[in-house]
């Protein structure tokens, strides 16, 4: 990134699925030639199996791919194939070591880029890992799922108190908030 002159302020983590059509893929889980590294740095095949499908094809085998891109040119910084039946929360948890290494390598002077991710990142286990157990805390921006009781309470509180203007055509309310012993700003 330095050679290109990019100093990203944000990196985006998300995953997608690829599914296959055809009878031979429907018999038993297929091991594909894509490999990912395990905790012990051993390569292991990624399993193409049935799982939740965003394309509504739960009957088809699939493989998942996680990707991180930076915010200035959309350059891919990280890709990780994963088994087809892994959910995003578990998949993101398994990638946090790589995310931390990537963030260290992208530091802009003192400032480290923010990790932007969907609500799948927002679990008690992931937040503790991001904030409590790591030497370098990962700064993140995500949506807190309203199914979490504490989040639902803050949403009700904000609705009752009303929103404040943030800038033209935008309003909201900010709170200091803690979930899973991780202090946060809640908008």
Q: Which residue has the higher pLDDT, 2 or 109?
A: 2
Q: What mean pLDDT, rounded, does the chain reach?
A: 79
pLDDT of 51 over the 80 cut: no
Q: Which residue has the higher pLDDT, 161 or 89?
A: 161
Rounded average pLDDT over 34-63: 69
Helix (H) / strand (E) element for 184: namely strand 182-186
Q: What is the pLDDT of residues 75-85, one digit of tens each?
A: 888 888 888 88
- State the pTM of this model: 0.73
Q: What is the pLDDT of residues 140-156, one digit of tens each?
A: 899 999 899 989 998 89
pLDDT band at 157 (very low <50, low <70, confident <90, very high): very high
Distance CA 174, CA 111 (A): 23
Asked whether the beta carbons of 187 and 174 are under 8 A apart, the reply is yes
What is the per-residue pLDDT for 160? Answer: 93
Distance CA 92, CA 116 (A): 12
Tokens encoding 43: 């390569």
pLDDT of 187 over the 90 cut: no
């Amino acid at each position: 990134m330095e050679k290109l002159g990019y100093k990203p302020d944000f990196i985006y983590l998300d995953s997608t699925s690829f599914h296959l059509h055809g009878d031979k893929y429907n018999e038993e889980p297929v091991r594909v030639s894509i490999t990912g590294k395990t905790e012990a740095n051993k390569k292991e095949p990624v399993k193409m199996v049935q799982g939740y499908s965003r394309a509504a094809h739960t009957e088809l085998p699939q493989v998942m791919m996680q990707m991180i891109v930076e915010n200035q040119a959309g350059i891919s910084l990280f890709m990780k194939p994963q088994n087809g039946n892994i959910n995003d929360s578990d998949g993101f948890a398994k990638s946090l070591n790589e995310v931390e290494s990537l963030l260290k390598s992208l530091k802009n002077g003192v400032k480290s880029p923010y990790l932007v991710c969907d609500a799948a990142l927002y679990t008690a286990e992931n937040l503790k890992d991001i904030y409590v157990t790591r030497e370098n805390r990962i700064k993140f921006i995500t949506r807190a799922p309203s199914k979490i009781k504490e989040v639902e309470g803050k949403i009700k509180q904000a609705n009752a108190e009303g929103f404040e203007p943030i800038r033209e055509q935008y309003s909201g309310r900010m709170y200091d908030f803690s979930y899973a012993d991780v202090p946060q700003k809640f908008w």
